[in-house]
Structure 1
């Protein structure tokens, strides 16, 4: 939830091929897929160097194969994921010989096995592209390369980077100009059988040219992509699988909640995809994991580890998950969202990775909403803070850092509190025993809407954020449609100064500007900020600033402590999580908000000095800062507005 989403640093890491020689790798010979091709293993790189990402692809355009399993059989152990896919990518860090086998079943269900060997030369790669993989036609693809400086000071000039497609049906890049881009994005083209796309990224260092090849395998799908009026998914969904292969949920769960087979005409019933509460009102982690769907096994492993490590005291997340049918974690989900017509939450795995190899598997496409509202004169940044420090930090992808799951605790916890607030808004605990399991989720949700049984609608009746809504809308609600949903700003809206916005907002009942994007968001934001403060002593800052964040015109820390906002917080929290029996005590104990120092810019306002506090530059403060080492490569992370534009539902 944020008007600023850090995506890539222009100093992204660029490793690669032909390190010290300065020569250029010759692209592989194009494969003519119009003639029958025997199933074989393809590697686009003819020469491979230390630190160079490469991929192996099981190419079977004329044969339907299944039960794929890759295995490394010799060489320094490599880290790779998607080992049941037709393509795996990895980065050798040691020179030497490597070998792999891949087993699979052919279209006659007969077991088959292929072997492949390659060597990694001693040279250090200077340029590399990540990460080759298999994708279904129409699914989003991101290719990325990173500038890096070698031990002898050689660095690719980022401005010299250029991407060029060398094989396969032409793709349309999101940005047609690929010159100087560290990353390119496109949707995989339509194909009638497995088809290779190959690309070369090139760059210059000290007058020498370097390049690297990368391949994407595009798989055909017999399932068409429906329009947003006919299906919960109007874009191509990735190939996913049940985290627990033996889960009783079976393929039905996938077809209902994350497949292009899903449609409003055949919306699943709760007998097909029950709420977790219908399985158990005291679910275990194993119960939860039976409802998890992933694109990569590591994503489910990390989610399970998160629950085991951070949900063993209050059991908030297990309790909140009862209102969902499934948890989907896939490389192509960005940003996270909840969908009532499937009853599932959809999680961006960016809060779960621990290694750069795991992070490599995540699509890095930027949030398309970043430019919404750029014609407005103001911003309303927000962030989570703890003890006068940022609670969340972003690790620039260029550095290929590892991290512990604990370092993403506040990110993941706030995400879950938010998304699961949505789930419990539509399916609160008071409804679990009365909901018909024979009706489709579409029909159930629509009935609940028209019967005014959705909790966020009740909030607007009792404690309205915008009393004019939905027949009319106040200025902040209208401005939120510009900022978060891409509506065109009027001349009056463009004329509003930050002071105007501050005077509008500071007496309102919203914790932050995003609350005005919809009644559903208002409900969830009240809850997630409250739970972060109650469980972790993490508070939320919100401010009104200029577009450059150089001047603050108004700001607060812990805004939910305002006397007129507290009743709204209690209304929401008591309904979302009835196990929070002391909710009234918690709400009453919320301290009044603290003002941010408007003489400083947004980042400078982080530290709020208390009366009688020891001033900066003392020995005590110096020792305190020394006791909290912070990797200087990490970037303080402002709040993120996580939702997709099409989550405004049309009730029929």
Structure 2
């Protein structure tokens, strides 16, 4: 149990919301009159989801109605006349629960036992006044077995993508899920999969509560319902037409400095992920320097120095990232590579992951860093917007990572509530870190650290070399150019959204295999930009030499069969070890990861050819097999294979953010 204070104006009613006037005698240090009048009773939000903002209230509090054991409960602080700033929740009473969104306007928790749960929220109200408010949530035992749970109650800024997922926690097979919106401006619910929906948060005049009810029907005919609460924050993003806005047209979610004690805490968000940023007033390095500027020459940054640069949407992201570095960065590669960044943004609404030279920061999708199912619940499931590019083409270009003839990326069914290990985290995030940090080192290689000008911004220091075409990727593409015009054209279709021509749509898998195999790229994504070319090469080299993991690439026809069972027309494992490709990899590595000896590139194993005519699935095991064994593998896809296929298609396109660079 947690000791209970004496909160002002709380109630143990089953359903509770406090409506708080801006000038009312709440927290925040307001001084009561010598003989105060009795306060008016706190109104209660009805089960129909009454608006917590009534009259002239500056802010309000609200919860869900009828909270039950085994179902997610929620509470929210709502800005009625303006923005709520820096909310922070703590638990004050009841059986202890984890508050994974404690620095959001909405908290959620899943009570295991009945009881009264008390919470306190501190925040700055729309008038700029510091406030402290308390509320309680009464949870009772359900009258029947819980067969429906909806996760996750959350807050999102308007224009952001939101996903909600229904569960049958008893493990029963779900026959159907029906969704109904019960409160708030109507939104269009789109399918993520049979159990999950997504939508775009609508434009609102003030913070607005949306409510949704999911009814789950199991295979044996039993049904149950659960309601979800989504708070849409009134936050105006920079317009795409604003030529001076760093983030014009982008959705910037709420984030904060993970370490409040960091010497850069006040600058981190302002200088790297603020919708109000102007490229005419970028932060100079004197305010937010590259990590390299805090590290003595020849030294490796400490984990503490890295964590002082971390920005998060949830505290668990910072905790997991720190654990990731301490467990998986024993050679210091990640920390050395991070020296070319000003900050690391880890966000539940960051998708795709990207590096941005305008701020010198990297932005990483939280989906790569969850360890527990509860952490995973807080992450938006909306797919990368580029997942449909190239759908008119007649072939698939496939990729995966393999180790010891097994797939390296593991499948974790979201319905099974699986906890991951640090080894799983390395598999899911290691390749991404190598890739995004190679981008950072392309724009700011170690050879440039000594000449940094602290009076200029990160971009101000990068721009002269960018204009002179002296980035690492420029030098590599000049010395070892990619020559296939056909692949360059297909790269624009698949990764930049250019409409395919009739000729491109007619290319067969065999033709594309011929174009690709004769050139020097390690992956199709290299034809997106020269920046991706270098990032793919270094990523694959590091995965091979540091983790013993090799990348597979293949071309298969898009012929109505499933991708996994389509015949491979050409494919290789470990293409980065091709003797024709090694010289360009060696040049790139010598500039972006100069602490690695050149023998690392020399030691890359020669590529292994896939068996033409066999399926992508059967080619996972490239050990010699009898033809009959290969044929036996051509079977229906498992759920895990379907997931891996979807992730493969999405992740081929998650690296580059199509942002313009600031003027220079």
TM-score by length of 2: 0.83
- What is the aligned counterpart of 1:531 among 539, 542, 547? 542
Give the CA RMSD over aligned residues: 2.9
Q: Match for residue 259 of structure 1?
A: 274
- What is the aligned counterpart of 2:51 among 31, 34, 53? 31
Matched, 1:275 2:290: yes
**C-alpha distance in 1 between matches for 2:268 and 2:217:** 49
1:59 Cα deviation after fit? 3.5
1:587 Cα deviation after fit? 1.8
Q: Match for residue 474 of structure 2?
A: 457
> Contact 1:392/1:408 (CA < 8 Å) preserved in 2?
no
Matched, 1:42 2:42: no
- What is the aligned counterpart of 1:433 among 434, 450, 454? 450
**C-alpha distance in 2 between matches for 1:325 and 1:227:** 27
**C-alpha distance in 1 between matches for 2:592 and 2:543:** 14
* CA 1:388–1:228: 2 relative to 1, 3 Å: farther
**C-alpha distance in 1 between matches for 2:576 and 2:86:** 52
* CA 1:401–1:335: 2 relative to 1, 3 Å: same
Q: Match for residue 61 of structure 1?
A: 80
Matched, 1:136 2:157: yes
Aligned runs of 1:206-221 on 2, under 5 Å? 210-221=224-235
Partner deviation per Cα, 1:477-512 (whole Å, 9 max, x = no partner): 100111111111100001100010111111210111
Q: Match for residue 70 of structure 1?
A: 89
* CA 1:118–1:41: 2 relative to 1, 3 Å: farther
1:60 Cα deviation after fit? 4.7
- What is the aligned counterpart of 2:600 among 562, 576, 586? 586
* CA 1:564–1:455: 2 relative to 1, 3 Å: same
Q: Match for residue 598 of structure 1?
A: 612
Relative to structure 2, which stretch is displaced further, 210-219 or 511-520? 210-219
Aligned runs of 1:185-264 on 2, under 5 Å? 185-205=198-218, 210-221=224-235, 224-227=238-241, 229-233=243-247, 234-264=249-279
* CA 1:597–1:38: 2 relative to 1, 3 Å: same
Q: Match for residue 560 of structure 1?
A: 576
Q: Match for residue 324 of structure 2?
A: 306
Matched, 1:477 2:498: no
Matched, 1:509 2:520: yes
Partner deviation per Cα, 1:130-168 (whole Å, 9 max, x = no partner): 11112223332222223x3746x5x4423xx33332222
- What is the aligned counterpart of 1:97 among 92, 106, 115? 115
Relative to structure 2, which stretch is displaced further, 493-502 or 104-113? 104-113
Q: Match for residue 351 of structure 2?
A: 334
* CA 1:229–1:556: 2 relative to 1, 3 Å: farther
* CA 1:144–1:27: 2 relative to 1, 3 Å: farther
**C-alpha distance in 2 between matches for 1:179 and 1:479:** 28
> Contact 1:75/1:96 (CA < 8 Å) preserved in 2?
no
The structure whose RCO (Cα within 8 Å, separation 6+) is larger is 1
> Contact 1:79/1:357 (CA < 8 Å) preserved in 2?
no
3-state secondary structure, aligned to 2:451: coil
3-state secondary structure, aligned to 1:446: helix
> Contact 1:28/1:46 (CA < 8 Å) preserved in 2?
no
> Contact 1:264/1:442 (CA < 8 Å) preserved in 2?
no
1:180 Cα deviation after fit? 8.1
* CA 1:586–1:267: 2 relative to 1, 3 Å: same
Partner deviation per Cα, 1:347-381 (whole Å, 9 max, x = no partner): 11112111111011111111121211011011111
Partner deviation per Cα, 1:80-107 (whole Å, 9 max, x = no partner): 3121322111222x33113122142565
1:400 Cα deviation after fit? 1.7
1:408 Cα deviation after fit? 2.2
> Contact 2:147/2:216 (CA < 8 Å) preserved in 1?
no
* CA 1:74–1:443: 2 relative to 1, 3 Å: closer
Partner deviation per Cα, 1:149-202 (whole Å, 9 max, x = no partner): 746x5x4423xx3333222233344x3xx6985322233223333221112223
* CA 1:355–1:198: 2 relative to 1, 3 Å: same
Q: Match for residue 367 of structure 1?
A: 384
3-state secondary structure, aligned to 1:323: coil
> Contact 1:129/1:144 (CA < 8 Å) preserved in 2?
yes
Q: Match for residue 24 of structure 2?
A: none
Q: Match for residue 469 of structure 1?
A: none
Q: Match for residue 20 of structure 2?
A: none
Partner deviation per Cα, 1:255-293 (whole Å, 9 max, x = no partner): 111110112222222222211111214321111111111
Structure 2 unaligned residues grouped into runs of 5+: 1-45, 631-637
3-state secondary structure, aligned to 1:368: coil
Q: Match for residue 136 of structure 2?
A: 116
**C-alpha distance in 1 between matches for 2:180 and 2:471:** 50
Matched, 1:126 2:151: no
TM-score by length of 1: 0.85
3-state secondary structure, aligned to 2:579: coil
3-state secondary structure, aligned to 1:381: strand
**C-alpha distance in 1 between matches for 2:214 and 2:241:** 35
**C-alpha distance in 1 between matches for 2:481 and 2:271:** 35
Q: Match for residue 362 of structure 2?
A: 345
- What is the aligned counterpart of 2:401 among 354, 371, 384? 384
3-state secondary structure, aligned to 1:364: coil
Structure 1 unaligned residues grouped into runs of 5+: 1-25, 467-472, 618-629
Aligned runs of 1:565-580 on 2, under 5 Å? 565-580=581-596
> Contact 1:196/1:218 (CA < 8 Å) preserved in 2?
yes
3-state secondary structure, aligned to 2:658: helix
Matched, 1:86 2:97: no
> Contact 1:378/1:498 (CA < 8 Å) preserved in 2?
yes
3-state secondary structure, aligned to 1:121: coil
